[in-house]
Structure 1
């Protein structure tokens, strides 16, 4: 009996330690988690590529927003079907769930695939940020890469999930604030809002295209409403529901209600934020 008690106590301590580091002790409310999830989703790539598509790309415009209509549907699906199962499983990663559901080899294989794919994805994001810092601050390219990597590595390693979540929260506030400031500065360069509307390409204001279903020989557009919504649903359902960077934040919620509220807030707030930097794209495109 004493041995069994010691083994259980040791296991509980290890499990508690893992949850403290990887899940922040499951102490987060919906507000910091929501900002953290959005900050993870909205990278430097989002703030460069989406405005460029909306304001500069030939055939672009606000039809980019059709993609976002699939997000609330994905959040509802995840909140009802997938996330409750993951949360109740008492795991710290999506890969631990795979091992429990299938076997260890499945966990190892998918973990390796994630690490490789995420390395490429993160590399592109860091590259984009480095280009911006290099052009704005005049810092050599390799130095910007080192600074970004070292700072991120240190605070993530030292603080665990708590440092990541609250760091993301601060970053999200800075990002949104930066968009608002840039928007006003851009409008000022254009001579005001009325001058912006006078020179804006009206075709870029078309946000939805119900005529093109995206299939068949008569489909001439790659951005029909229904293909965008369906594609957006599967993309966001897979990203928020199976990507470790997102699932880990949902598993860090203090209870299931908080996890659902985090999904709900993301489903509601991501669209206006996307609309905000899409309008910024229209301002940049008009100025260009």
Structure 2
């Protein structure tokens, strides 16, 4: 459904951030993009959603297509109308608006009031905690509720693809499990495609169907989630496990040097 084909991204006409990135996200599946800080994961999402140009970034080579239609030259508004929604890192709800007003804002491409109301009730069905907070100013919601609201707001445009950036950031483990469970349900019931950027590699590989590993603006490894979970380098560098399967010490993790076997 979503195909990124050998793209390069340059900021300010000088800084090369993505260096020939290619990946695919299929309908009814979760694809995760793993990598350390500064690897280029969020830039990849912004290149897809069209907001890259607001930060003086440009896709200078390659193409991005949705159902065969090229989107990398489109403004973000048109990309949204085609069926792509992004949930940004840090949630970024409109803190001065109520929960329901945030959801209405997410339906900005829909002019039919009945469809907007139907969309709101659909969100409440997946996130019942939001219904109890419908009139509450969103700036006073808990972190978990704000993440649910950000996800629900993305659903209001009836997307085919949702781009999720660090949804577990700052949340308790139980809340993370709950939110990922809802995301998995959405993918199954709505046949959505999800591209997930997540620092919590253990959780990401538990919920994802397929994964890619990015380092310094390049994809260095890909495979099914099960293949990545069993890969010795992924287990050591991203899951913090040694060859025996036990946790490495914090000192060991801090001192590791990546073997570049996957680049050969």
TM over 0.5: no
TM-score in terms of structure 1 length: 0.24
TM-score scaled by structure 2? 0.26
